[in-house]
Amino acid sequence: MTNQAALVDATVTASSPIALMGFVVLTILVTATTITYYLEQSRPGLNLREVWVKIRSWWFMAPLFWGCVAIDPRAGVGLVAVICYMALKEYYTLVHTVQADRGALFWSYLTIPIQFYWIGTGWYAMFSIFIPVYLMLFIPVRQVIEGETTDFVARTGRIYWGLLYFVYGLSHMAYMIKLGPGGRELLLWLVFLTQINDVCAFCWGKTFGRNKIAPKISPNKTWEGFLGGIFSTGLLAMFTSFMTPFTLKGAYMIGVGLGVAGFLGDLTVAAIKRDAGVKDASDFIPGHGGVLDRVNSLTFTAPLFFHFVRYFYF
């Protein structure tokens, strides 16, 4: 394969893959809304309030993300930066921090504009080492300057881990835009599949869920939801492979892989929330919880998918 297939004009025209993707998402939103409406009409006993709230939030989130990425690459990068900030803030609110951590926390937040500056200028080498190398060294040094040694390892680890997941990991989404022609399409594809995998797993689990898959960490997740989710995601990946340079079979396998990775990301963030004793990271997005609850899967799928396509296609 070459990346010729991925070469598309930067502007979005009505027949471009990005516009087509927008149409697919719109169709799914309309279908989901219609189905929920008819379910409510035909079975009055069913409590669909939670589903309605979720769908309403999707009507905001999906057009916002698609719009930012489609209109202007800079808007897309900026939106990802805001998402990183919100997710990191929710993470730092959840985990235990003390007053002596304030300096290191402050610098962690400042990492976001710096990391996104590297992305904006397309400096790949700096983007990929800035947090793993320089911040790995800087955060402990800032803690040392503070001079508080109680729980030093745990406190410093907590702060740095959040940085790795919610800034470094998620910022791979933004760099996809900078990968070259076709990068924006791949970003939209990645986010679409990761989110639709969550939705499919939710629907399969609600309908057929019997056997708990990780009762200690996330009691609502079932084997039926997981397997149904990745299967559906694979199919949708095939169906939307016009966004990518992949063959149908390749798209299916990547879709399944993203489903598995997303599931693991979901569980990892669920473990963080368990540790903190909460169900949702905040109530910023009605029906979904916090930003953290919406990007949990992306912390895994974004870096994995990014390096996959970068290795093979760019």
Partner 1 sequence: MDHWLRVAFYLLVVRPFLTFVIGMRVKGAQHLETNEQVVIVSNHNSHLDTVVLLDLVGVRRMARFRPVAAADYFEVSGPVEYFSHALFNILPIRRKGPGDQSQNPIDVMAQAIEAGESLILFPEGTRGEPEKLARFRSGVGVLVAKYPHLKVVPVWLEGMGKILPKGAWYPVPFNGSVNIGPPTAFTGDAKTITAAIEAMVQELGRETRASQFGTQP
Selected range binding partner 1 among 72-80, 85-93, 169-177, 178-186, rule: CB under 8 A: 85-93
- Tell me: does residue 267 bind partner 1 (CB under 8 A): no
- Tell me: does residue 284 bind partner 1 (CB under 8 A): yes
Size of the site for partner 1 (CB under 8 A): 24
Residue 221, φ and ψ in degrees, nearest 5: -90, 135
Selected range binding partner 1 among 40-48, 175-183, 235-243, 276-284, rule: CB under 8 A: 276-284
- Tell me: does residue 106 bind partner 1 (CB under 8 A): yes
Answer for which of 47, 50, 277, 311 binds partner 1 (CB under 8 A) is 277
- Tell me: does residue 275 bind partner 1 (CB under 8 A): no
Which one, 20 or 214, has the nearer CB to partner 1?
A: 214
Answer for which of 65, 66, 92, 313 binds partner 1 (CB under 8 A) is 92
- Tell me: does residue 279 bind partner 1 (CB under 8 A): yes
Which one, 85 or 165, has the nearer CB to partner 1?
A: 85
Which one, 103 or 180, has the nearer CB to partner 1?
A: 103
Residue listed under structure tokens 């304030």: 102
Which one, 40 or 280, has the nearer CB to partner 1?
A: 280
Which one, 33 or 220, has the nearer CB to partner 1?
A: 220
Q: How far is the CB of 52 from partner 1 (least distance, A)?
A: 18
- Tell me: does residue 36 bind partner 1 (CB under 8 A): no
- Tell me: does residue 214 bind partner 1 (CB under 8 A): no
- Tell me: does residue 206 bind partner 1 (CB under 8 A): no
- Tell me: does residue 60 bind partner 1 (CB under 8 A): no
Selected range binding partner 1 among 23-31, 49-57, 104-112, 227-235, rule: CB under 8 A: 104-112
- In angstroms and rounded to an integer, the radius of gyration of the C-alpha atoms of the chain is 20
Answer for which of 44, 99, 145, 216 binds partner 1 (CB under 8 A) is 99
- Tell me: does residue 109 bind partner 1 (CB under 8 A): yes
Answer for which of 220, 235, 250, 260 binds partner 1 (CB under 8 A) is 220
3-state secondary structure the chain: CCHHHHCCCCCCCCCCHHHHHHHHHHHHHHHHHHHHHHHHHHCCCCCCHHHHHHHHHHHHHHHHHHHHHHHCHHHHHHHHHHHHHHHHHHHHHHCCCCHHHHHHHHHHHHHHHHHHHHHHHCCHHHHHHHHHHHHHHHHHHHHHHHCCCCCHHHHHHHHHHHHHHHHHHHHHHHHHHHCCCCHHHHHHHHHHHHHHHHHHHHHHHHHHCCCECCCCCCCCCEHHHHHHHHHHHHHHHHHCHHHCCCCHHHHHHHHHHHHHHHHHHHHHHHHHHHHHCCCCCCCCECCCECHHHHHCCHHHHHHHHHHHHHHHHC
Residue burial 234-251, b: 16+ Cβ < 10 Å; e: rest:
bebbbebbebbbbeeebb
- Tell me: does residue 219 bind partner 1 (CB under 8 A): yes
Residue 285, φ and ψ in degrees, nearest 5: -110, 105
Binding site for partner 1 (CB under 8 A): 85-86, 89-90, 92-93, 97, 99, 102, 105-106, 109, 219-220, 277-284, 289-290
